[in-house]
């Protein structure tokens, strides 16, 4: 019984939905003069080994990256790119602190 309980606790710690990640504070935020399409494509290329999803929004796009853990999707990062006219605001939230994710976003700016 202890093993089942420990497994459940361990799996619950791995859960990560977009809503879960959005509840975390902003990990990185910056502005870019690059187009929405160029930023989105750069991030998709950087994270091509994971599961990358892009959802258009009224004034931008939300990009998520994650993977599957025992057949359950786990969202690792959420990037909101907001089109502010001449610039784009890029906001990164992560499930757990990953400097490599921040560096990927920085390199696309």
Of 50, 28, 46, residue with least CA distance to 38: 46
pLDDT of residue 5: 34
pLDDT value, residue 31: 98
CA distance 108 to 51: 18
Instruction: Give the CATH architecture of domain 16-108.
Output: 2-Layer Sandwich (3.30)
Chunk the chain into consecutive blocks of 10 residues (it has 109) and report each block's average pLDDT, rounded to whole numbers: 37 69 95 96 93 94 89 90 97 92 96
């Amino acid at each position: 019984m202890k093993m089942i309980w420990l497994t459940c606790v361990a799996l619950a710690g791995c859960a990560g939905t977009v809503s879960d990640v959005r509840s975390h504070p902003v990990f990185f935020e910056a502005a870019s003069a690059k187009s929405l399409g160029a930023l989105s494509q750069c991030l998709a290329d950087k994270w091509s080994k994971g599961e990358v999803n892009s959802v258009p929004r009224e004034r931008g796009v939300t990009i998520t990256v994650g993977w599957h853990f025992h057949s359950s999707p786990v969202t690792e990062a959420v990037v909101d790119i907001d089109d502010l006219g001449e610039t784009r605001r890029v906001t990164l939230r992560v499930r757990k602190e990953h400097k490599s994710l921040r560096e990927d976003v920085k390199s696309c700016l």
